[in-house]
Protein backbone atom coordinates (compact mmCIF):
# COMPACT_ATOMS: atom_id res chain seq x y z
CA UNK A 1 0.00 0.00 0.00
CA UNK A 2 1.28 3.49 -0.80
CA UNK A 3 2.18 5.90 1.99
CA UNK A 4 -0.67 8.25 2.79
CA UNK A 5 -0.27 11.53 0.90
CA UNK A 6 -1.30 14.87 2.35
CA UNK A 7 -4.15 16.70 0.67
CA UNK A 8 -3.92 20.47 0.68
CA UNK A 9 -6.99 22.63 0.09
CA UNK A 10 -8.06 26.25 0.61
CA UNK A 11 -9.85 26.94 3.90
CA UNK A 12 -13.55 27.82 3.67
CA UNK A 13 -15.87 29.64 6.05
CA UNK A 14 -16.89 26.33 7.66
CA UNK A 15 -13.25 25.87 8.71
CA UNK A 16 -13.28 28.88 11.09
CA UNK A 17 -13.50 26.78 14.30
CA UNK A 18 -10.71 24.53 13.02
CA UNK A 19 -8.54 27.55 12.17
CA UNK A 20 -9.08 29.05 15.61
CA UNK A 21 -8.00 25.76 17.21
CA UNK A 22 -4.83 25.69 15.11
CA UNK A 23 -4.08 29.35 15.93
CA UNK A 24 -4.38 28.61 19.66
CA UNK A 25 -2.22 25.48 19.36
CA UNK A 26 0.46 27.43 17.47
CA UNK A 27 0.45 30.24 20.05
CA UNK A 28 0.86 27.65 22.77
CA UNK A 29 3.87 26.14 20.94
CA UNK A 30 5.40 29.62 20.50
CA UNK A 31 4.85 30.37 24.22
CA UNK A 32 2.67 33.33 23.18
CA UNK A 33 -0.81 32.07 24.08
CA UNK A 34 -1.41 35.11 26.34
CA UNK A 35 -1.40 37.27 23.18
CA UNK A 36 -4.28 35.49 21.38
CA UNK A 37 -7.36 37.72 21.05
CA UNK A 38 -8.79 35.94 17.99
CA UNK A 39 -12.30 34.54 18.11
CA UNK A 40 -14.55 32.87 15.54
CA UNK A 41 -16.52 35.99 14.73
CA UNK A 42 -13.44 38.08 13.95
CA UNK A 43 -11.87 35.31 11.89
CA UNK A 44 -15.08 34.93 9.89
CA UNK A 45 -15.33 38.66 9.26
CA UNK A 46 -11.69 39.25 8.30
CA UNK A 47 -11.06 36.07 6.28
CA UNK A 48 -14.45 35.39 4.68
CA UNK A 49 -16.20 38.78 4.73
CA UNK A 50 -16.52 41.40 1.98
CA UNK A 51 -12.79 42.12 1.94
CA UNK A 52 -10.82 38.98 2.79
CA UNK A 53 -7.57 40.14 4.39
CA UNK A 54 -5.73 36.81 4.20
CA UNK A 55 -6.13 33.27 2.84
CA UNK A 56 -5.50 29.93 4.46
CA UNK A 57 -4.62 26.41 3.35
CA UNK A 58 -5.58 23.30 5.32
CA UNK A 59 -3.47 20.16 5.13
CA UNK A 60 -5.32 16.89 5.64
CA UNK A 61 -3.98 13.42 6.24
CA UNK A 62 -6.34 10.50 5.67
CA UNK A 63 -9.19 13.00 5.53
CA UNK A 64 -8.34 14.51 8.94
CA UNK A 65 -7.16 18.11 9.40
CA UNK A 66 -3.47 18.00 10.30
CA UNK A 67 -2.14 21.54 9.86
CA UNK A 68 -2.62 24.90 8.26
CA UNK A 69 -0.86 27.82 6.61
CA UNK A 70 -2.20 31.39 6.63
CA UNK A 71 -0.82 33.92 4.16
CA UNK A 72 -1.40 37.29 2.55
CA UNK A 73 0.15 39.25 -0.29
CA UNK A 74 2.88 41.76 0.41
CA UNK A 75 4.25 44.06 -2.30
CA UNK A 76 7.70 45.03 -3.52
CA UNK A 77 7.92 48.43 -5.20
CA UNK A 78 11.41 47.61 -6.50
CA UNK A 79 10.00 44.59 -8.35
CA UNK A 80 6.51 46.09 -8.89
CA UNK A 81 5.24 42.64 -7.99
CA UNK A 82 3.34 41.17 -5.09
CA UNK A 83 5.06 38.87 -2.65
CA UNK A 84 3.55 35.95 -0.80
CA UNK A 85 3.93 36.35 2.95
CA UNK A 86 3.35 33.32 5.16
CA UNK A 87 2.06 34.52 8.51
CA UNK A 88 1.51 31.15 10.21
CA UNK A 89 2.49 27.56 9.51
CA UNK A 90 1.45 24.82 11.90
CA UNK A 91 1.31 21.04 11.88
CA UNK A 92 -0.36 19.20 14.78
CA UNK A 93 2.12 17.22 16.93
CA UNK A 94 0.61 13.85 15.96
CA UNK A 95 1.23 14.52 12.26
CA UNK A 96 4.79 15.83 12.44
CA UNK A 97 7.65 14.10 10.67
CA UNK A 98 5.46 13.13 7.70
CA UNK A 99 6.40 15.96 5.36
CA UNK A 100 3.29 18.07 5.89
CA UNK A 101 5.12 21.32 6.67
CA UNK A 102 7.25 20.87 3.59
CA UNK A 103 4.19 20.04 1.47
CA UNK A 104 2.49 23.26 2.65
CA UNK A 105 5.59 25.34 1.87
CA UNK A 106 5.90 23.79 -1.59
CA UNK A 107 2.24 24.42 -2.34
CA UNK A 108 2.65 28.05 -1.25
CA UNK A 109 5.76 28.43 -3.41
CA UNK A 110 3.80 27.06 -6.38
CA UNK A 111 1.00 29.53 -5.60
CA UNK A 112 3.53 32.39 -5.43
CA UNK A 113 4.81 31.47 -8.89
CA UNK A 114 1.25 31.07 -10.29
CA UNK A 115 0.38 34.56 -9.01
CA UNK A 116 3.60 36.10 -10.36
CA UNK A 117 5.03 36.94 -6.94
CA UNK A 118 8.64 38.04 -6.77
CA UNK A 119 9.30 36.46 -3.39
CA UNK A 120 7.98 34.14 -0.72
CA UNK A 121 8.72 35.25 2.84
CA UNK A 122 7.96 34.55 6.47
CA UNK A 123 9.30 35.48 9.91
CA UNK A 124 10.98 33.03 12.25
CA UNK A 125 11.51 33.34 16.01
CA UNK A 126 15.26 33.65 16.51
CA UNK A 127 15.30 30.91 19.19
CA UNK A 128 13.66 28.35 16.90
CA UNK A 129 16.80 26.67 15.55
CA UNK A 130 14.97 23.58 14.29
CA UNK A 131 12.73 25.74 12.12
CA UNK A 132 15.65 27.84 10.86
CA UNK A 133 17.57 24.73 9.78
CA UNK A 134 14.48 23.36 8.03
CA UNK A 135 13.84 26.63 6.16
CA UNK A 136 17.48 27.03 5.13
CA UNK A 137 17.47 23.52 3.70
CA UNK A 138 14.55 24.58 1.48
CA UNK A 139 16.53 27.52 0.07
CA UNK A 140 15.32 30.33 2.35
CA UNK A 141 17.82 33.00 3.39
CA UNK A 142 17.57 35.62 6.17
CA UNK A 143 16.84 39.21 5.14
CA UNK A 144 19.36 41.16 7.17
CA UNK A 145 19.89 44.84 7.90
CA UNK A 146 16.20 45.74 8.47
CA UNK A 147 14.11 45.99 11.63
CA UNK A 148 10.31 46.12 11.77
CA UNK A 149 8.87 49.06 13.73
CA UNK A 150 5.31 48.85 15.03
CA UNK A 151 2.68 51.28 16.30
CA UNK A 152 -0.29 49.71 18.07
CA UNK A 153 -2.69 50.19 20.97
CA UNK A 154 -2.80 53.67 22.48
CA UNK A 155 0.13 54.90 20.36
CA UNK A 156 -1.79 53.99 17.19
CA UNK A 157 -4.91 55.81 18.36
CA UNK A 158 -2.86 58.87 19.29
CA UNK A 159 -1.08 58.96 15.93
CA UNK A 160 -4.38 58.42 14.10
CA UNK A 161 -6.04 61.35 15.92
CA UNK A 162 -3.69 63.70 14.11
CA UNK A 163 -4.44 62.14 10.74
CA UNK A 164 -8.23 62.15 10.68
CA UNK A 165 -8.50 65.69 9.39
CA UNK A 166 -5.76 65.54 6.78
CA UNK A 167 -7.41 65.33 3.43
CA UNK B 1 -0.99 84.07 5.14
CA UNK B 2 -1.30 80.55 6.56
CA UNK B 3 1.51 78.06 6.03
CA UNK B 4 0.84 75.81 3.05
CA UNK B 5 -0.81 72.57 4.19
CA UNK B 6 -0.10 69.22 2.54
CA UNK B 7 -2.95 67.54 0.72
CA UNK B 8 -2.98 63.76 0.82
CA UNK B 9 -4.95 61.72 -1.70
CA UNK B 10 -5.10 58.14 -2.96
CA UNK B 11 -3.00 57.46 -6.05
CA UNK B 12 -4.91 56.72 -9.27
CA UNK B 13 -3.88 54.91 -12.44
CA UNK B 14 -2.80 58.23 -14.01
CA UNK B 15 -0.19 58.53 -11.23
CA UNK B 16 1.80 55.49 -12.39
CA UNK B 17 4.64 57.52 -14.01
CA UNK B 18 4.81 59.69 -10.88
CA UNK B 19 4.94 56.62 -8.63
CA UNK B 20 7.72 55.07 -10.71
CA UNK B 21 9.74 58.28 -10.39
CA UNK B 22 9.30 58.28 -6.61
CA UNK B 23 10.25 54.58 -6.38
CA UNK B 24 13.46 55.24 -8.33
CA UNK B 25 14.29 58.30 -6.19
CA UNK B 26 13.74 56.32 -3.00
CA UNK B 27 15.92 53.45 -4.23
CA UNK B 28 18.63 55.97 -5.04
CA UNK B 29 18.41 57.40 -1.51
CA UNK B 30 18.60 53.86 -0.02
CA UNK B 31 21.63 53.07 -2.20
CA UNK B 32 19.63 50.21 -3.74
CA UNK B 33 18.88 51.57 -7.23
CA UNK B 34 20.53 48.52 -8.84
CA UNK B 35 17.65 46.43 -7.47
CA UNK B 36 14.82 48.35 -9.20
CA UNK B 37 13.04 46.22 -11.82
CA UNK B 38 9.74 48.12 -11.67
CA UNK B 39 8.30 49.64 -14.82
CA UNK B 40 5.05 51.45 -15.62
CA UNK B 41 3.34 48.41 -17.08
CA UNK B 42 3.96 46.23 -14.03
CA UNK B 43 2.92 48.98 -11.64
CA UNK B 44 -0.30 49.53 -13.60
CA UNK B 45 -1.08 45.82 -13.63
CA UNK B 46 -0.32 45.13 -9.96
CA UNK B 47 -1.73 48.32 -8.40
CA UNK B 48 -4.67 49.15 -10.69
CA UNK B 49 -5.54 45.83 -12.36
CA UNK B 50 -8.22 43.27 -11.47
CA UNK B 51 -6.60 42.41 -8.13
CA UNK B 52 -4.85 45.49 -6.69
CA UNK B 53 -1.99 44.17 -4.55
CA UNK B 54 -1.20 47.42 -2.73
CA UNK B 55 -2.48 51.02 -2.40
CA UNK B 56 -0.62 54.31 -2.50
CA UNK B 57 -1.11 57.80 -1.13
CA UNK B 58 0.30 60.89 -2.82
CA UNK B 59 1.23 63.97 -0.77
CA UNK B 60 0.93 67.29 -2.58
CA UNK B 61 2.21 70.70 -1.56
CA UNK B 62 0.72 73.70 -3.36
CA UNK B 63 -0.76 71.30 -5.89
CA UNK B 64 2.60 69.72 -6.71
CA UNK B 65 3.42 66.06 -5.95
CA UNK B 66 5.91 66.02 -3.07
CA UNK B 67 5.99 62.45 -1.77
CA UNK B 68 4.22 59.13 -1.54
CA UNK B 69 3.44 56.18 0.71
CA UNK B 70 2.75 52.67 -0.56
CA UNK B 71 1.07 50.15 1.73
CA UNK B 72 -0.75 46.82 1.86
CA UNK B 73 -2.66 44.89 4.49
CA UNK B 74 -0.89 42.27 6.55
CA UNK B 75 -2.75 39.99 8.95
CA UNK B 76 -2.34 38.92 12.55
CA UNK B 77 -3.85 35.55 13.44
CA UNK B 78 -3.40 36.27 17.16
CA UNK B 79 -5.59 39.38 16.80
CA UNK B 80 -7.70 38.02 13.91
CA UNK B 81 -7.36 41.49 12.44
CA UNK B 82 -5.57 42.96 9.45
CA UNK B 83 -2.52 45.14 9.93
CA UNK B 84 -1.46 48.07 7.81
CA UNK B 85 2.04 47.59 6.46
CA UNK B 86 3.85 50.58 5.01
CA UNK B 87 6.22 49.35 2.33
CA UNK B 88 7.60 52.69 1.13
CA UNK B 89 7.56 56.26 2.41
CA UNK B 90 9.31 58.99 0.46
CA UNK B 91 9.36 62.77 0.41
CA UNK B 92 11.27 64.61 -2.35
CA UNK B 93 14.37 66.44 -1.04
CA UNK B 94 12.94 69.89 -1.89
CA UNK B 95 9.89 69.27 0.31
CA UNK B 96 11.62 67.83 3.39
CA UNK B 97 11.38 69.50 6.79
CA UNK B 98 7.78 70.61 6.18
CA UNK B 99 6.01 67.80 8.03
CA UNK B 100 5.02 65.79 4.96
CA UNK B 101 6.43 62.47 6.17
CA UNK B 102 4.65 62.90 9.47
CA UNK B 103 1.40 63.88 7.71
CA UNK B 104 1.57 60.71 5.59
CA UNK B 105 2.21 58.53 8.66
CA UNK B 106 -0.68 60.15 10.54
CA UNK B 107 -3.02 59.68 7.59
CA UNK B 108 -1.99 55.99 7.40
CA UNK B 109 -2.54 55.56 11.13
CA UNK B 110 -6.03 57.06 10.75
CA UNK B 111 -6.68 54.68 7.84
CA UNK B 112 -5.48 51.74 9.97
CA UNK B 113 -7.96 52.68 12.70
CA UNK B 114 -10.79 53.22 10.15
CA UNK B 115 -10.16 49.75 8.71
CA UNK B 116 -9.98 48.11 12.18
CA UNK B 117 -6.31 47.17 11.88
CA UNK B 118 -4.57 45.94 15.01
CA UNK B 119 -1.20 47.41 14.11
CA UNK B 120 0.67 49.71 11.75
CA UNK B 121 4.15 48.51 10.79
CA UNK B 122 7.06 49.16 8.50
CA UNK B 123 10.71 48.13 8.12
CA UNK B 124 13.64 50.46 8.62
CA UNK B 125 17.21 50.06 7.39
CA UNK B 126 19.35 49.60 10.50
CA UNK B 127 21.84 52.30 9.37
CA UNK B 128 19.14 54.94 9.00
CA UNK B 129 19.40 56.55 12.45
CA UNK B 130 17.55 59.72 11.45
CA UNK B 131 14.53 57.69 10.38
CA UNK B 132 14.67 55.51 13.51
CA UNK B 133 14.65 58.59 15.79
CA UNK B 134 11.75 60.09 13.84
CA UNK B 135 9.71 56.87 14.05
CA UNK B 136 10.40 56.36 17.76
CA UNK B 137 9.24 59.91 18.46
CA UNK B 138 5.91 59.00 16.83
CA UNK B 139 5.44 56.04 19.19
CA UNK B 140 6.83 53.22 17.00
CA UNK B 141 8.79 50.44 18.71
CA UNK B 142 11.08 47.79 17.18
CA UNK B 143 9.72 44.23 16.92
CA UNK B 144 12.60 42.16 18.21
CA UNK B 145 13.34 38.46 18.27
CA UNK B 146 12.16 37.67 14.73
CA UNK B 147 14.03 37.41 11.43
CA UNK B 148 12.44 37.41 7.97
CA UNK B 149 13.44 34.49 5.74
CA UNK B 150 13.01 34.78 1.99
CA UNK B 151 12.89 32.42 -0.99
CA UNK B 152 13.16 34.05 -4.40
CA UNK B 153 14.65 33.60 -7.87
CA UNK B 154 15.84 30.08 -8.74
CA UNK B 155 15.22 28.81 -5.18
CA UNK B 156 11.55 29.83 -5.44
CA UNK B 157 11.14 28.11 -8.80
CA UNK B 158 12.78 24.96 -7.45
CA UNK B 159 10.58 24.87 -4.34
CA UNK B 160 7.48 25.56 -6.46
CA UNK B 161 8.23 22.67 -8.82
CA UNK B 162 7.61 20.27 -5.96
CA UNK B 163 4.31 21.94 -5.09
CA UNK B 164 2.56 22.02 -8.43
CA UNK B 165 1.13 18.54 -8.13
CA UNK B 166 0.08 18.63 -4.50
CA UNK B 167 -3.61 19.04 -4.24
A53 interaction partners in chain B (CB closer than 8 Å): 73, 75, 81-82
Mean of all residue pLDDT scores within chain B: 94
pLDDT value at B1 more than 50: no
Global confidence as pTM: 0.94
pLDDT tens digit sequence for A138-149: 999 999 999 999
Integer Cα distance of B90 and B70 in angstroms:
9
B150 interaction partners in chain A (CB closer than 8 Å): 119-121, 140-143
CA angle A136, A22, A108 (to 5 degrees): 40
Over residues B58-85, mean pLDDT: 97
Q: For residue B123, count CB atoms less than 10 angstroms from its CB and return exposed for 0-12, middle for 13-18, buried for 19 or more.
A: middle
pLDDT tens digit sequence for A79-135: 999 999 999 999 999 999 999 999 999 999 999 999 999 999 999 999 999 999 999
Chain A interface includes B79 (CB < 8 A): yes
- In this complex, which of B36, B80, B138 lies closest to A151 when CB atoms are compared? B138
Integer Cα distance of A69 and A37 in angstroms:
19
Known catalytic residue at A135: yes
Nearest to A35 by CA among B77, B110, B62, B43: B77
**Per annotation, catalytic residue among B85, B90, B95, B135:** B135
Chain B interface includes A128 (CB < 8 A): no
pLDDT of residue A31: 85
Nearest to B89 by CA among B53, B115, B125, B64: B125
Integer Cα distance of B151 and B145 in angstroms:
20
- Sign, CA dihedral A144-B109-A48-B77, equals positive
Q: Give residues 2 to 31 of A whose Cβ lies within 8 Å of B.
A: 6-9, 23, 26-27
Interface A–B counts its CB contacts (< 8 A) at 272
- Sign, CA dihedral B80-B121-A152-A128, equals positive
What 8-state DSSP symbol labels residue A62? Answer: T
Integer Cα distance of B145 and B127 in angstroms:
19
Nearest to A74 by CA among B150, B53, B27: B53
- ipTM of this predicted structure: 0.93
pLDDT of residue A163: 73
B73 interaction partners in chain A (CB closer than 8 Å): 53, 72
Q: Domains of chain B (ranges plus CATH)?
A: 7-160 (3.40.630.30)
Strands B55-61 and B64-76: antiparallel
Over residues A32-41, mean pLDDT: 95
Q: For residue B45, count CB atoms less than 10 angstroms from its CB and return exposed for 0-12, middle for 13-18, buried for 19 or more.
A: middle
Chain B interface includes A33 (CB < 8 A): no
* Contact yes or no for A56/A19 (Cβ under 8 A): yes
pLDDT of residue A1: 47
pLDDT of residue B167: 59
pLDDT of residue A110: 97
pLDDT value at A36 more than 90: yes
CB atoms near residue A83 (< 10 Å) = 23
pLDDT value at A6 more than 80: yes
What 3-state DSSP class applies to B130? helix
Tell me how close the Cα of B54 comes to any Cα of chain A, in angstroms. 6
Mean of all residue pLDDT scores within chain A: 94
pLDDT tens digit sequence for B80-134: 999 999 999 999 999 999 999 999 999 999 999 999 999 999 999 999 999 999 9
pLDDT value at A2 more than 60: no
pLDDT tens digit sequence for B29-54: 888 899 999 999 999 999 999 999 99
A36 interaction partners in chain B (CB closer than 8 Å): 78
The four Cα atoms A58, B149, A23, A57 give a dihedral, to 10 degrees, of: -10
Kindly indicate the confidence band of residue A167, based on its pLDDT and cuts at 50, 70 and 90. low
Amino acid sequence: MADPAPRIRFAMEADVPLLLGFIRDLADYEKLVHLVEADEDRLRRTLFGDIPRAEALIAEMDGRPAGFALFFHSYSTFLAKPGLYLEDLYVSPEYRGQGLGKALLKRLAALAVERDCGRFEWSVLDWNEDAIGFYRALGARPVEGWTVYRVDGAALTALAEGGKDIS
